[in-house]
């Protein structure tokens, strides 16, 4: 359904028709002026007809060249206003060449049969251009797609085409959509065989985004070669949109939970305790033999007529601070880029794992790259994934000052995890002055992350 962008749309961007038209016009004009026998054969009104035809071919060729140059300049400029466009296909260029040979042969060889064949060939050419223009006339196109997806996920992009003509149906319409990314460009298309008059048809194409980040869509164009494929008429729509592709995610292993939280099976022990370090209040329930009398809630007891006690819930889940260092050298290799992407995927997986397994953990994430961004559990998960999707690495990324500042404001029950895109040999470890906060430093290499993290899905 789609192919690489540089190889797509080459026929309609090549101004070969304009070049051929200018060559034919120049040859005809020079022939009328310089060839005596041609001037004797075509005199009076016929001579002026040939001159007008030669000038028309020249002007049309210049117009095609200027249109192609203007289209290449406005391909990345916004906004692009809705406009009709005409181009000659490869088959059309061959057809025009044959017509030109027939016309010049009839003039040079003074053969009426060749002129008759030339006149017969003009009819289908003009008819193809008029019908193709009628196919795209009074049509509208728009796309519908989700604004956020995951990398590696197969996404369906829907194209909706509306035919606002009263009587004439539109046949063989191709909706072409240009998709641009920082490291990826391609063109996608969807074919509509027939769109009846006054109705709407929907088509779609599938895309699997391999890179995280922001993708730009547009402009959207409707084209048709119907019926003979000699002339292509197109209608360009000023329809631009953006899509954020979140990083790929995997799954955390059981060792991650056991090493990080230290016996999670005791995460929700309940007990009653009065004093300075009481845990969170959970509920009020009936008194049971063995309960602490100090936990009796006298107001509720007076209202209900039976002893009621306060119950507190103790949790061993600790606060987690995730620091992500996106560093890369000035001239990164493939291994350097892979470590950056693996660190981002690891961070995204930790976020989702925390949402599924430990909702009570107060999670905070700080990403250090070309820019430093922070996220905590009070914000939405979508915002955190957006930050990871748009994050970029930098040669100046340094997580050490962030580690020192963060550990000064944490309690002993907190856990700090640092995942860095630096090689393992360059990764240093920093501890707090009192060694109260546990710190886990990981390099974004397969050997370091494999005990805790498994990346799944297509690359």
Model pLDDT, residue 451: 87
Highest-scoring range by mean pLDDT, 37-51, 191-205, 366-380, 425-439: 191-205
Strand 154-163 relative to strand 200-208: parallel, antiparallel, unpaired?
antiparallel
Q: Is pLDDT larger for residue 359 or for residue 325?
A: 325
What would the mean pLDDT of 6-18 be, rounded to a whole number?
48
Q: Please report, for the chain, the start and end positions of each structural domain, with discontinuous segments joined by +.
A: 2-76+98-119, 139-246, 251-260+318-454, 268-315
Model pLDDT, residue 58: 81
pTM for the structure as a whole:
0.69
pLDDT in tens, 54-103: 788 788 778 777 777 665 554 444 444 447 888 888 898 889 888 888 88
**Do 166 and 197 form a contact (C-beta atoms < 8 A)?**
yes
Model pLDDT, residue 112: 80
Task: Read off the pLDDT band of 5 (50, 70, 90).
Answer: very low
What would the mean pLDDT of 101-108 be, rounded to a whole number?
80
Model pLDDT, residue 115: 82
What would the mean pLDDT of 42-62 be, rounded to a whole number?
75
Q: Which two tokens stand for residue 187?
A: 């063109």
Model pLDDT, residue 61: 79
Handedness of CA 336, 337, 342, 348 (dihedral sign): positive
What would the mean pLDDT of 202-226 be, rounded to a whole number?
91
For the chain, counts of helices (H) and of strands (E)? 12, 21
> Of 150-154, 318-322, 425-429, where does mean pLDDT reach its minimum?
425-429
What's the 3-state SS for 11-38? HHHCCHHHHHHHHHHHHHHHHHHHCHHH
The CATH class given to the 251-260+318-454 domain equals: alpha beta
In angstroms and rounded to an integer, the radius of gyration of the C-alpha atoms of the chain is 36
Q: Above 70 in pLDDT, residue 317?
A: no
Homologous superfamily of 139-246: Immunoglobulins (2.60.40.10)
Q: Is pLDDT larger for residue 409 or for residue 323?
A: 323
Model pLDDT, residue 427: 74
Kindly give, in sequence order, each residue whose CB lies less than 8 Å from that of residue 289, ignoring residues fewer than 6 positions away.
none
What would the mean pLDDT of 437-459 be, rounded to a whole number?
79
Model pLDDT, residue 78: 46
Task: Read off the pLDDT band of 270 (50, 70, 90).
Answer: very low
Q: Is pLDDT larger for residue 12 or for residue 374?
A: 374
Task: Read off the pLDDT band of 42 (50, 70, 90).
Answer: low
pLDDT in tens, 118-166: 888 888 988 998 999 999 999 999 999 888 899 888 999 999 999 999 9
Q: Is pLDDT larger for residue 40 or for residue 254?
A: 254
Model pLDDT, residue 390: 92
Kindly give, in sequence order, each residue whose CB lies less than 8 Å from that of residue 175, ignoring residues fewer than 6 positions away.
141, 159, 161, 189, 190, 191, 192, 203, 220, 221, 222
Model pLDDT, residue 136: 92
H or E stretch covering 255: helix 254-261
309: phi then psi, degrees, rounded to nearest 5: -125, 155
Model pLDDT, residue 432: 43
Q: Could you give the percent of the chain with pLDDT greater than 90?
A: 29
Q: Which two tokens stand for residue 427?
A: 């990764």
Q: Above 60 in pLDDT, residue 377?
A: yes
Model pLDDT, residue 4: 37
Task: Read off the pLDDT band of 459 (50, 70, 90).
Answer: low
pLDDT in tens, 342-351: 999 999 998 8
Model pLDDT, residue 277: 40
Collapsing DSSP states into helix, strand and coil, what is residue 297?
Answer: coil
Model pLDDT, residue 458: 57
């Amino acid at each position: 359904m789609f192919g690489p962008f540089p190889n797509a749309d080459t026929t309609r961007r090549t101004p070969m028709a304009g070049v051929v038209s200018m060559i034919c016009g120049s040859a005809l004009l020079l022939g009328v002026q310089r060839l005596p026998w041609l001037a004797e054969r075509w005199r009076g009104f016929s001579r002026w007809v040939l001159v007008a035809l030669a000038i028309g071919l020249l002007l049309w060729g210049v117009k095609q060249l200027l249109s192609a140059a203007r289209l290449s300049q406005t391909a990345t400029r916004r906004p692009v206003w809705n406009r009709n466009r005409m181009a000659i296909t490869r088959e059309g260029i061959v057809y025009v060449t044959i017509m030109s040979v027939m016309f010049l042969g009839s003039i040079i060889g003074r053969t009426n049969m060749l002129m008759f064949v030339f006149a017969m060939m003009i009819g289908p050419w003009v008819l193809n251009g008029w019908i193709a223009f009628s196919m795209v006339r009074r049509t509208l196109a728009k796309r519908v797609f989700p604004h956020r997806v995951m990398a590696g996920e197969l996404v369906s992009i829907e194209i909706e085409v509306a035919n606002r003509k009263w009587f004439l149906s539109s046949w063989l319409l191709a909706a072409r959509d240009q998709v641009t990314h920082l490291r990826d460009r391609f063109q996608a298309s969807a074919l509509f065989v027939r769109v009846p008059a006054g109705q709407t048809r929907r088509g779609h194409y599938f895309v699997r985004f391999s890179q995280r980040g922001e993708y730009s869509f547009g402009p959207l164009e409707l084209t048709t070669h119907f019926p003979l494929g000699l002339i292509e008429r197109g209608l360009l729509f000023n329809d631009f949109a953006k899509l954020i592709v979140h990083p790929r995610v995997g799954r955390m292993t059981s060792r991650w939970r056991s090493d990080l939280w230290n016996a999670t099976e005791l995460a929700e022990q309940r007990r009653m305790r009065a004093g300075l370090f009481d845990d969170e209040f959970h509920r009020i329930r009936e008194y049971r033999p063995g309960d602490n009398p100090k936990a009796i809630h006298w107001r509720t007891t007076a209202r209900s007529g039976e002893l009621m006690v306060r119950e507190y819930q103790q949790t061993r889940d600790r606060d987690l601070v995730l620091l992500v260092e996106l560093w890369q050298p000035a001239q990164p290799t493939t291994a350097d880029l892979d470590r950056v992407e693996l660190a981002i995927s690891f961070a995204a997986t930790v976020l989702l794992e925390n949402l599924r397994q430990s909702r009570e953990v107060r999670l905070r994430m700080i990403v250090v790259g070309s820019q430093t961004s922070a996220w905590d559990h009070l914000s939405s998960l979508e915002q955190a994934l957006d930050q990871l999707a748009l994050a970029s690495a930098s040669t100046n990324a340094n997580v050490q000052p962030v580690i020192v500042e963060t550990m000064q404001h944490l309690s002993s029950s907190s856990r700090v995890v640092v995942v860095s895109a630096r090689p393992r040999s360059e990764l240093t470890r920093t501890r707090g002055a009192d060694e109260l906060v546990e710190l886990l430093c990981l390099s974004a290499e397969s050997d370091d992350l494999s005990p805790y993290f498994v990346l799944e899905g297509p690359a």
